[in-house]
Structure 1
Amino acid sequence: MPAEPLATVVGLLRDKFDLALPETSTELWHGHPVWLDDDLPVAGFKAYPTFVTVLFWRGQAITDHSGKLNASGSAEMSEYKLKSVDDFDSDLFDVWLQQVRELEAA
């Protein structure tokens, strides 16, 4: 578990993902929570000592008017790094997670 205030960020993310992705299951992958739809990952996060990285497996298909999502890796993933509670924008996560749900339903 990361140190405060990142532990607060982790709690906010877990609550937000659980609420926004009710049709998914949650598992630990390499010690980090990942939300799965039909055993395929859709979202997750990984806590480091100074930040938390949020991952969306099909994140490059998300329309992000904020410009905060960054392409990650060679697949379709995108990421967003939170360094404090101030980086957690509940409304922005609602928009992103709605698109995650729509992508998974398609």
Structure 2
Amino acid sequence: MDPEIRKYNEKQEAGYKEVCELLAKEIDRNLPDAESKVWHSHPVWFLDENPTVGYSKQKPGIRLMFWSGADFEEPGLNVLGKKFKDASVFFNDASEVNTTDIRRWLKKAQEIQWDYKNLVKRKGRLERLK
């Protein structure tokens, strides 16, 4: 695990820390070719420099977000972005995390991608990569 992500996880309160550690473990295991780092103050995994999945602590809990998740057609990813193609789910306890769902979503994250890394260059216009 990336040392900065480990530090991020360790700073969380007990229940959230367990959620973060479980998510990081599953993401690392299922996206072995991804680069991971703390980006904009929270853990993010990149495929070919394109942000793919990450999590952050927010008021409703730990938010697991997939940048291209709106196109996964997954009812569990029920918090949809308003401007981009992201979709999220919130967790407050590790017992809420269904690793089967996480693994399926991570597989889709590799298969379905929008080009976020060139968003600024394209003046806010997204293009589908896969």
TM-score, normalising length: structure 2: 0.73
Aligned partner letter, 2:111: E
Unaligned runs of 5+ in 2: 1-10, 114-128
Q: Does the aligned pair in 1 maintain the 2:54–2:64 contact within 8 Å?
A: yes
* Alignment correspondent of 2:107: 98
Q: Alpha-carbon deviation of 1:59?
A: 0.4
Q: Of residues 76, 90, 93 in structure 2, which corresponds to 1:81? A: 90
1:47-80 deviations in Å (ceiling 9; x for gaps): 246610011000011121xx22121231000011
User: Identity across aligned pairs (percent)?
Assistant: 21
2:23 alignment counterpart: 13
Q: Is the 8 A contact 1:2 1:49 kept in 2?
A: no
Structure 1 residue 15 displacement after superposition = 0.4
CA distance in 1, matches of 2:60, 2:108: 28
Q: Determine if the alignment matches structure 1 residue 68 to structure 2 residue 76.
A: yes
| Higher RCO (C-alpha 8 Å, min separation 6) | 1
Which is higher, the Rg of structure 1 or of structure 2?
2
Instruction: List 4+ stretches of structure 1 deviating above 3 A.
Output: none
The CA RMSD over aligned residues, in Å, is 1.6
Question: C-alpha separation between the residues in 1 aligned to 2:23 and 2:37?
Answer: 15
Distance in 1 (CA, whole Å) between partners of 2:16 and 2:42 is 14
Q: Is the aligned partner of 1:41 residue 2:56?
A: no
SS in 2 for 1:5: helix
